[in-house]
Chain A
Amino acid sequence: MPLIDSKSSQAFFDEMYDENGACRPHYFKYESLIKRVSRKKLNHLQFAADKAQVGMGMTFNVYHDDQGVEKILHLDIIPRIIPSSEWRIIEDGLKQRIKALNLFLQDIYNEQNILNDGIVPKDLILGSKDFLEPCIGLTPPKGIWCHITGTDLVKDKDGQYYVLEDNLRCPSGVSYMLESREIIKRAYPDLFNDLGVRPVSNYPIRLLNMLQYLSDKSKPKIGVLTPGVFNSAYFEHSYLAQQMGCELVVGMDLIVEDNIVYMQTTGGKEQIDVLYRRLDDTFLDPQAFNPDSMLGVPGLFNAYKAGNIAMANAPGTGVADDKAVYAYVPEIIKYYLNEEPILSNVPTYLCRKEEDCKYVLDNIKDLVVKETNAAGGYGMLIGPKATAEEHEKFRGLIKANPSNYIAQPTLSLSTVPTLVKDSIESRHVDLRPYVLYGEEIDVIPGALTRVALKKGSLVVNSSQGGGSKDTWVLY
């Protein structure tokens, strides 16, 4: 008998059970263990996991929420397991994709061959608010633009992975991948060895090595630049700085003189060489970008241009993870690498194209509509789940500003059994693996699996009632 209490619909791919209700081989050992554990014990394990998160201070701040500032991201104790055969595809696919996107960024800020050859429309790039003019003509240290990527993948009912978003700016969540593993290891002490789960714990050192690679000094000074303690991802910023053993800095700690960036220390000024910045592009430097930014460092961009500081990710990457540019990524891969994309894109309708726009307006009830520049699950419409009024509202929005919207068919996100109060039910998940681009491209064998905790919901964002699962990539 399967573990789940209410059987999932055939319309979805379940990661643990096949369409006949038989356990998939890579879940065999987990299933036999979990069947021997009483529900009471399971609930206790879940309780212990919640408690551990509060104790570790693994909390995040939710915007627009008056109910206290700190919440935990619910961590479900039933893991998502990925067999090595599947992982190989993800790994190869992501390496290919990041390599191409990096070449794309270098190109559009320099020669602009891909635009001149008409592969990607010029106005889409040059007219994007994320195309940063100050970056034109710039080559970042070692030619790397997107050092840290957290690509969102989903698995459709055909069992194939699709890339949903590239997230080339400041992808968050990696600390949850790391700390969740520590917590879940306590829940299944015997299973880890037995199953052969690949470790993720060396991520901070790999991140540090990547950041060190960006400087030519033998012992560069490295810092994580955070907007501050009120940012929703602050826990992660401080966690990573602590794990890497480097400085955690805010804008006011830094000062730029003669294009050199210094930290203000108790012993005076001290030069800093590499910044892992978790501040959006336009907040980085009020002199170069948003003059209202109180978070940035005046003069930072000039110091960067002068080659006196490296930043990860490089300013200007945002233009490549725009949801409209996303539609062109398969073309981008072919253009630079002369290869077929290993990971598929979700078919995407660009409302900026007339025929696509018409299709979207006519079929809005079957589609997911997204703003090209929004993140966090905000500003989107899930056609099949929305009311006629909402459809009409979005039709209006699209007509008013078509190039601001794209639409995609509703994907049937795969499911994983999830502990819900006193029962185990299937819930939809996505997958966010992390990729580091330093001396080589490095895909970490693990991921943040986000799970939509509401029954039937397809929105996995933490700001919209999503939780997480530990992700076990097997040897």
Chain B
Amino acid sequence: MLSRVANSIYWLGRYAERVENYARFIDVNFNLMLDMPQDMKEQWEPLVQITGDRDIYVKKYGSHFDRKTVIFFLAFDEDNPNSIFNSVQNARENARMIRENLSKETWEKLNETYHYVKSGKEKSIWKKEDPRSFFSHVKDSVLLLYGLAENTVARTEGWYFRQLGQYLERADKTSRFLDVKYHILLPSHEEVGSPLDFLQWTALLKSVTAFNTYRRFYGNITPSGVVEFLVLDKHFPRSVYFCLKEAENCLYKISGSDGVGFKNSAEKAMGELRSKLEYDDVNDVISTGLHEYLDKLQIKINKISNEVNKNYFQIKSNLIFQTQEQS
């Protein structure tokens, strides 16, 4: 497969996943705010905080985080490189560059999703009293896209590059969702374990559609239970460990390796991180400090992505230096 094409497919996977995560995230936070006590201010700042784009927000809008501005920023703002609009546009541009490698159905669905988000922007969805149906449609569109791909795309190199992008993105986003709890403030220390605290943990689980599964596995909602489930669970498809295990498998399929040890620096970095998570327990996470642990995790995921780029996407220059870096 052409290196340029592999690069585009990988980023297509990442951007599509990002679109879905952001849409879900806005939806869930909106729900959470409805359940908050009246005397508590709506908290929209943590959403911006965890996306890592707080600086861009503050530069443009100052330190005032109201609902409409934050939704606009996360969903439609073209100045926010990770907004849903930009991500879906990037996904589509990548897809357009490699259309010959996509099935007709997946291309058309993605194209349609792009036009849907664009129309939402034109209709100023963020000003609506309740924009949830828009975001849940976006989320469903991406899931439909996955379903179409699952049933129409051959399991060859391209499939594994897209999956690799999707799972690395999801691992990163799940860790960030978890981190949001660190940033959402409770009115006082006594509130730990209060109904409000419970609501926030519930919302977090719902952000990654983990609520029901968690309930079946753990019953009671406890911070350590949620952390263990979202970071270390071996079976849940949105836990960080699960995503890394899948992503690692993609790398093996791509290089044709037998899954023992490593053949290149991407597999090495991936294997190291995966096995760390495989043998960590929740006490290791908590003793490191949740925020610190997640922070390190995100840095390592970034490193893996860079190694993938180095091993597979860089091509020899025949005119000027050529590379296509995305983030």
Residues of A bordering B, CB below 8 Å: 54-57, 224, 229, 234, 238-239, 241-242, 245-256, 263-267, 286, 294, 297-298
Are A234 and B312 in contact (CB-based, < 8 A)?
Answer: no
Question: Nearest A residue to B97 by beta-carbon distance?
Answer: A229
Are B99 and A238 in contact (CB-based, < 8 A)?
Answer: yes
Q: What 1/0 mask marks residues of chain B from 1 to 20 whose CB sits below 8 Å from any chain A CB?
A: 11111100000000000000
How far is it, in angstroms, between the C-alpha of A54 and the C-alpha of B107 when the chains are bound? 12
Q: What 1/0 mask marks residues of chain B from 298 to 316 whose CB sits below 8 Å from any chain A CB?
A: 0000000000000010011
Residues of B bordering A, CB below 8 Å: 1-6, 93, 96-102, 104, 107-108, 111-112, 115, 157, 254, 312, 315-320, 322
Contacts of B312 in A (CB 8 A): 266
Can you list 17 A-B contacts (CB < 8 A)?
A54-B115, A55-B115, A56-B111, A238-B99, A241-B99, A245-B100, A248-B100, A252-B4, A252-B315, A253-B315, A264-B4, A265-B1, A265-B3, A266-B3, A266-B254, A294-B319, A298-B318
Known: A264-B316, A297-B318. A55 touches B111 (CB 8 A): yes
Question: Can you list the 10 inter-chain pairs with the closest CB atoms, starting with the nearest?
Answer: A241-B100, A238-B99, A242-B100, A264-B315, A248-B100, A57-B111, A266-B312, A252-B322, A266-B6, A264-B3
Contacts of B315 in A (CB 8 A): 252-253, 264
Question: In the assembled complex, how far is the CB of residue A474 from the closest CB belonging to chain B, in whole angstroms?
Answer: 29
How far is it, in angstroms, between the C-alpha of A182 and the C-alpha of B104 when the chains are bound? 13
Are B107 and A263 in contact (CB-based, < 8 A)?
Answer: no
Question: Assuming A242-B104, A247-B100, what are 9 further A-B pairs, CB within 8 angstroms?
Answer: A54-B111, A56-B111, A57-B99, A229-B93, A238-B96, A247-B2, A252-B4, A252-B315, A297-B318
Question: Nearest A residue to B94 by beta-carbon distance?
Answer: A229
Question: Nearest A residue to B109 by beta-carbon distance?
Answer: A55
Contacts of A54 in B (CB 8 A): 111, 115
Known: A55-B108, A57-B107. A253 touches B96 (CB 8 A): no
How far is it, in angstroms, between the C-alpha of A336 and the C-alpha of B315 when the chains are bound? 48
Question: In the assembled complex, how far is the CB of residue B138 from the closest CB belonging to chain A, in whole angstroms?
Answer: 17
How far is it, in angstroms, between the C-alpha of A242 and the C-alpha of B104 when the chains are bound? 9
How far is it, in angstroms, between the C-alpha of A392 and the C-alpha of B89 when the chains are bound? 48
Known: A57-B96, A57-B111, A239-B99. A249 touches B316 (CB 8 A): no
Are B1 and A266 in contact (CB-based, < 8 A)?
Answer: yes
Question: Nearest A residue to B114 by beta-carbon distance?
Answer: A57
Are B2 and A234 in contact (CB-based, < 8 A)?
Answer: no
Partner of A242, one of B3, B6, B99: B99
Are A246 and B100 in contact (CB-based, < 8 A)?
Answer: yes
How far is it, in angstroms, between the C-alpha of A286 and the C-alpha of B100 when the chains are bound? 27
Question: Nearest A residue to B157 by beta-carbon distance?
Answer: A266
Are B1 and A229 in contact (CB-based, < 8 A)?
Answer: no
Contacts of B317 in A (CB 8 A): 252
Known: A55-B111, A55-B112, A56-B108. A265 touches B100 (CB 8 A): no
Question: Nearest A residue to B111 by beta-carbon distance?
Answer: A57
Contacts of B100 in A (CB 8 A): 224, 238, 241-242, 245-248
